[in-house]
Amino acid sequence: MKILEVKSLTIPEIKVIRYQRHMDDRGYFTEILRKSDIDERPELSSLKNETLTQFNESFSKQFTVRGLHIQWSPFQGKLVRTLSGHMTDLILDVRKNSPTFGKIIAYDLPVNNAEDFGEFIWIPVGFAHGGFYPEESKIEYYCTSGWSGVDLEAGISPLASDIDWSLCDADLKTKFDQMVSGTPLISDKDRNGFTVAQWSQNPNADQFMYEAGV
C-alpha cells in the first residue's frame, strides 16, 4: 500500500487516505492495505494502534440513504472505501463537549477505474457514519471491532432536523437534499433514528466524550 496523501477534512479527525494504483494497458494492481505504511504516517496515529478485526461489504441500490450508525462496547472505528458505483460518505460528530458536536460533513467517494489512485476514509470512534448513493454501489469497510448487537448500537437519523450542516460541502448538501426530497430507499430504523437532541440525552451518549488533542 503506497500512501500518496493523507488529507484531513473539515473535522480534522476524519482522514482521507489516497493510495497508489499501478496502471498499465491491462488495468491496474494495488495493495489495498499494509499496516507498516499506516504506522509510518503520523497523521494516522488514531488508526496506528487499532486492529482491524471485521471486514464488511454492503451493496446499495440507486437512491439509497444509510446511517447514521454508531456502536459501543466495544467501540468501532471504520476504514471505508467504494468498490463500485458512487458513495457520498456522511460523518456526524457525536462526541459530547466537542466544538463540532452535532455537525456533519460529507465526502464524495465515486469509483473511477481510470484513476491511478484509490481512496479510503477513516472514521474513528466518536463519529456516527452513513452515506447516500446516487447510483447502484458496493462498498467495503474494515472495522476495529466486531458487531456487538442491537442493544449496543444506535442511530441518528440522517433526516433529523437538528443536524448542523454548516461545515458540509454545499454542493454535496444540495445533492443530499435532492435525493431525500424524492423517494429515497431508507430503512424505517434509520429514518426513525434519534435526533441530535435525543441522542445527547441518551445515557449511552456519555460514553463518547471529546478529548482535546486526542
| CA angle 99–206–107, rounded 5-degree value | 45
Catalytic site includes residue 129: no
Q: Closest Cα partner for 158 from 123, 186, 121, 138?
A: 186
Three cell numbers written together for 34: 499494509
Of 69, 86, 129, 142, catalytic: 69
Burial class for 10, CB neighbours closer than 10 Å (0-12, 13-18, 19+): middle
Burial class for 26, CB neighbours closer than 10 Å (0-12, 13-18, 19+): exposed
Of 19, 107, 141, 142, catalytic: 141
Q: Closest Cα partner for 43 from 118, 124, 115?
A: 124
Catalytic site includes residue 22: no
Catalytic sites, residue numbers: 69, 141
